[in-house]
Structure 1
Amino acid sequence: MEYIRLYTRQHENSLYELERTGSIRNKSIYVRLHMGPDADYFAERYRSFVEMAEERIPRPEGVEYPIWCAISKDTARLPIKGEVLYCLRVPKDQVIFFDGQKWDYVLNYLYIPSDEADQSAFKKELQARGLPSAYNIIKGKYAGFYPDLEEKIRASWTRIFDIDEPSRFKVQANLWEIQEEWIETIIYPGEDLAQKTQEKLDAFGQ
């Protein structure tokens, strides 16, 4: 079985869930607490991700949202007060890889082109209908007026899983859960990630 090392920053209360259940799972309430006033927007966007991701790796019963992970040490978010960083070694067949830059298109309800030619063709299609851009087609003043374009935009979002460049600065990873046996090291606030994991190299040799 092939493995990969991942890194994810979580609230310190996840330690209690891990001790109690042997795993860590993301819940809707966690997303809402973390996102604050933008919770409704992000919860709706994450549901779009869930629908696409579970077509690739089945979502376990009881799991509501995936857990975001970095694929390298230098892109991992170091823990601050009240948080910990889990350093994981995960079977690759349990990991949902995606392009973080393309995910920004989904967050903004935009079309993800397959290549430059497709991008140009879609732009011409918008211009032919008198639309300056894809903004406001799904949400905003044009919502509901162009159902065919909305369908085309939504269908393009699965391209977030097409990795064009295996860069640690672009590629991110999601897990449906963290199993206890996947945890190699836990980094607490103030601890040195590189020092504590110097013998556990990531996919980029760090």
Structure 2
Amino acid sequence: MGQDTVRLYTRQNDKTLLPLKRQGRIINQRIYVEMHFGDIAPLFLESYDWFTKEAARRVPKPGDVKAPIWCSISAENCLKPIDGTVVYVLEVPKEKVIYFDEAKWDYVLNRIYLPKDEQDAASYREHLKLLGISNGFEFFEGRYKGMYPEEERRIVESWKRVFEIDNWTIFNVCGNIWEIMEAYVQKIVYPGEDLEGLKY
């Protein structure tokens, strides 16, 4: 592993093997997100679109890419290959990786305020209480939808903290990329093969 690259692991549908072979690259399609989430996709797609826009400010996005590819920073925390999938072991230039905290991502997915710390969380709870609101989940969907635009702005602004990593572990840190280039692929792990043995 070179000093200018990082090792990433990502499980993908085995149908991605074809574009890798034919075009020399794999990119994520928005339709995959829709298929993955089914009926609840529209809500999640808003979060993914926000993430895509913010991530592109940090690492420039190729014009034809609509969503990032999610990667683990360790073999240990990568989803294992199951039928219909493979795991790509990648060596990616450092400047191409968008690091973020996956635990914080849940706040974005649930469309709620992402506090800076415990003190900020307590202040925000107090703030909601003063507004007479008990449930911070309902600003984007539900009874408060469209009623508190300034609160919506505050929540969306807070999501940028997803890119601030306070506690760096293999379990909460992800490293997303815009594309898998053939040159990045060090190994392809198929179902039944040992991924753990790939720890470096």
Residue pair 2:76, 2:196 contacting (<8 A) in 1 also: no
Separation of aligned partners in 2, 1:34 and 1:128: 39
The answer to whether 1:55 aligns with 2:32 is no
Q: What are structure 1's unaligned runs of at least 5 residues?
A: 202-206
Q: Deviations over 1:41-62 (max 9, x none)?
A: 2222211111111111111010
Distance, in Å, in 2 between the alignment partners of 1:179 and 1:164 is 30
**What amino acid is aligned across from residue 156 of structure 1 in structure 2?**
S
CA contact (8 A) 1:87 1:186 kept: yes
Structure 2 counterpart SS, 1:90: strand
Structure 2 CA distance for aligned equivalents of residues 23 and 4 of structure 1: 18
Sort the Cα spacing of 1:135 and 1:37 in 2 relative to 1 into closer, same or farther, 3 A: closer
Q: State the match for 2:67 in structure 1.
A: 65
Partner residue in 2 for 1:32: 34
How many aligned residue pairs are there?
198
Q: Which residue matches 2:150?
A: 148
- Whether the 8 Å contact between 1:123 and 1:133 is mirrored in structure 2 is no
**Aligned-pair distance for 1:65?**
0.5
1:105 aligns with 2:107: yes
- Work out whether residues 89 and 184 of structure 1, in 8 Å CA contact, stay in contact via their aligned partners in 2: yes
| Cα shift at 1:24 | 0.5
Cα distance in 1, alignment partners of residues 144 and 51 from structure 2: 23
Structure 2: gaps of 5 or more residues: none
Instruction: Specify the code of the residue in structure 1 equivalent to 2:32.
Output: Y
Cα-Cα RMSD:
1.2
Farther off after superposition, 120-129 or 39-48:
39-48
The percentage of aligned residue pairs carrying the same residue is 44
| TM-score (ref. length: structure 2) | 0.95
Cα deviation code 1:110-153 (max 9, x no counterpart): 11111222222211111111111311022210111111111100
Q: Do the aligned residues in 2 keep the contact of 1:3 with 1:92 (CA within 8 Å)?
A: yes
Whichever residue aligns with residue 54 of structure 1, its letter is A
Q: How does 1:129-148 map to 2 (within 5 A)?
A: 129-148=131-150
Q: Match of 1:204?
A: none
User: Alpha carbons of 1:38 and 1:133: their partners in 2 closer, same or farther (altered >3 Å)?
Assistant: closer
Cα displacement (A) at 1:38: 2.6
Query: Residue type of the partner of 2:119?
Result: A
Q: How does 1:9-48 map to 2 (within 5 A)?
A: 9-48=11-50
Paired with 2:13 and 2:52, the residues of 1 have a C-alpha distance of 21
Quote how far apart the aligned CAs of 1:33 are: 2.4
Q: 2:94 aligns to what? A: 92
Structure 1 residue runs of 4 or more that deviate by more than 4 Å after TM superposition: none
Q: Which amino acid aligns with 2:99?
A: F
Aligned-partner Cα distance in 1 for 2:55–2:15? 26
Native 8 Å contact 1:67 1:177 kept in 2:
yes
Bigger shift: residues 62-71 or 42-51? 42-51
| 1:189 aligns with one of 181, 188, 191 | 191
In the aligned structure 1, how far is the partner of 2:74 from the partner of 2:8? Answer: 7
